[in-house]
Structure 1
Amino acid sequence: MVEPAPPHRQPEENPRHGRLTARPAAPTALAAAGLAPLTDAHGAPLAMVYAPEPLDGPPYTLVLLLHGAGGSARQGLDLLLPIADAHRLLLVAPQAASSSWDLIVEGFGVDVRRIDGLLATAFAGYPVARVAFGGFSDGASYALTLGLTNGDLVDAVVAFSPGFAAPLVTHGRPRVYVSHGVDDPVLPVDVCSRRLVPRLRALGHDVTYDEFAGPHEVPSDVRARAAAWLAR
């Protein structure tokens, strides 16, 4: 399910390979705390952002959260919103340009560029110490793929009920948390996480695997365990 890729960056690597260029830096001007939607010039949704108070506190852990197929930025944000304040998580939840993420629809492209721009905006507006990616279903598959591709940026990946990971290139070895319901009818655990997790471990990733009795969902106790794992 996850194939090894060249460990060193090649000159031709770019957004078509899932590579991101944004990196944390000292904020140029502090943005606002709280919940805020981001839209393009035509008012179309780009993302939802949530920043806990206070802005001048310790640097945040930024978590990029990716919704499932047919979902919304708000659904991505809600994956960790209930515990964001307790763990000082700066949440950035993009809206996919299509019904699902570009890799799944037609290959890396518009969503990679959108995510890169959103991360650059977040780094310019908030103090960030660490970066993690997370998602549910198709969003989990995309978070894993982008996280493995950009392990020189991403410290950790939280994948709720993923189907696969398909990096074209890999960098670093981010730690990984995977949860999956044993009764999942959408992405069956036997052909998804139970195959994916051993492959990730074989590639040298530190993987925490959390199976639970349930369908295609993110139970509150799983969310709490994922947040505690992120805070390690």
Structure 2
Amino acid sequence: MGGARRPPEGRLGSRPLAEPAAVPYPEGVRTLHLGPHAEARLAVPGGAHRPRPLLVFFHGAGGTSAQGLAAVGDLAAARGALVLAPSSVAATWDLVAGGLGRDVAVLDAALEQVFARHPVTRVAVGGFSDGASYALSLGLANGDLVDAVLAFSPGFVAAPAHRGTPRVWISHGTGDRVLPVDRCGRRVSRDLAAAGYDVTYTEFDGGHVMTPDLVTAALDSWLGEAR
């Protein structure tokens, strides 16, 4: 699989480089080559090449990298952020399907390609639904790389290990019938706050959705524009 590794316990080995040796990718969206049945899309904003924040975004169950990118790409690009949107190898992310493994390896290989070409100032992971649960679990296991987790309507958090203390932003609809707010968003945010994480929790009048307003609030929280 194109050199992808299988880090233990959900750990990501790739790290940003102070001075990447390869030429930066040009403005626009490109598919990264990661091997059979492994795909990720990278969106590079316009403007001069410079160090940028990177958002990794995980789609919901049955989704694709294109759908993940469509949910956050334009709003993140407007803030000058790179967006990396992988596709799960199976119908949903490996943790939800039974255990961390190949999806972590694919992500690590994708990050390695991005870091080899772009100087990255900070990294956040985010996602919707199953992707939000995955972002929480993987982000808490890699808090020495990830400085924030942006979780839209998560179901649970099951980090195999805890490294660092990334900030956590969570939204959940009070009318969510897929992942009910009381046993999902409220419980997850309460448990993480009790564990010592800096948690921002937002409820909204709606169902199992993420909206541009919520994406804007999450990006503002991460990038500090609302502070």
The TM-score normalised by the length of structure 1 is 0.90
Q: 1:41 to 1:174 in 2, by over 3 A?
A: closer
Q: List alignment gaps of at least 5 residues for structure 1.
A: 1-13
Question: C-alpha displacement at 1:162, in angstroms?
Answer: 0.3
CA distance in 1, matches of 2:71, 2:222: 13
Does the alignment pair 1:56 with 2:88?
no
Does the alignment pair 1:85 with 2:77?
yes
Q: Give the structure 2 partner of residue 218 of structure 1.
A: 210
Q: Percent identity?
A: 47
Does the alignment pair 1:112 with 2:104?
yes
Q: Give the structure 1 partner of residue 25 of structure 2.
A: 31
Does the alignment pair 1:17 with 2:12?
no
> Cα deviations across residues 94-146 of structure 1 (Å, max 9, x unaligned)?
01000000111120110010001111111111110000000000000000000
**Correspondence for 1:202 among 180, 187, 194:** 194
Q: 1:205 to 1:72 in 2, by over 3 A?
A: same
**Retained in 2: the 8 A contact 1:15–1:108?**
no
* Paired residue secondary structure (2:169): strand
CA distance in 2, matches of 1:45, 1:107: 17
CA distance in 1, matches of 2:57, 2:35: 23
- How many aligned positions are there? 217
**Retained in 1: the 8 A contact 2:143–2:162?**
yes
* Paired residue secondary structure (2:43): strand
Matches within 5 A, 1:1-232: 15-25=7-17, 26-29=19-22, 30-40=24-34, 44=37, 46-57=39-50, 59-232=51-224
The TM-score normalised by the length of structure 2 is 0.92
> Cα deviations across residues 133-191 of structure 1 (Å, max 9, x unaligned)?
00000000000000000000000000000001101111000001000111011100010
CA distance in 2, matches of 1:55, 1:104: 39
CA distance in 2, matches of 1:158, 1:49: 18
**Retained in 2: the 8 A contact 1:33–1:55?**
no
**Retained in 1: the 8 A contact 2:38–2:89?**
no
Question: C-alpha displacement at 1:86, in angstroms?
Answer: 2.0
Residue 230 of structure 1 aligns with an amino acid whose one-letter code is: W
CA distance in 1, matches of 2:172, 2:35: 38
Question: C-alpha displacement at 1:33, in angstroms?
Answer: 1.9
Question: C-alpha displacement at 1:53, in angstroms?
Answer: 1.6
Alignment RMSD (CA, Å):
1.4
* Paired residue secondary structure (2:122): strand
Residue 9 of structure 2 aligns with an amino acid whose one-letter code is: H
CA distance in 2, matches of 1:203, 1:16: 23
Question: C-alpha displacement at 1:54, in angstroms?
Answer: 2.3
* Paired residue secondary structure (1:227): helix
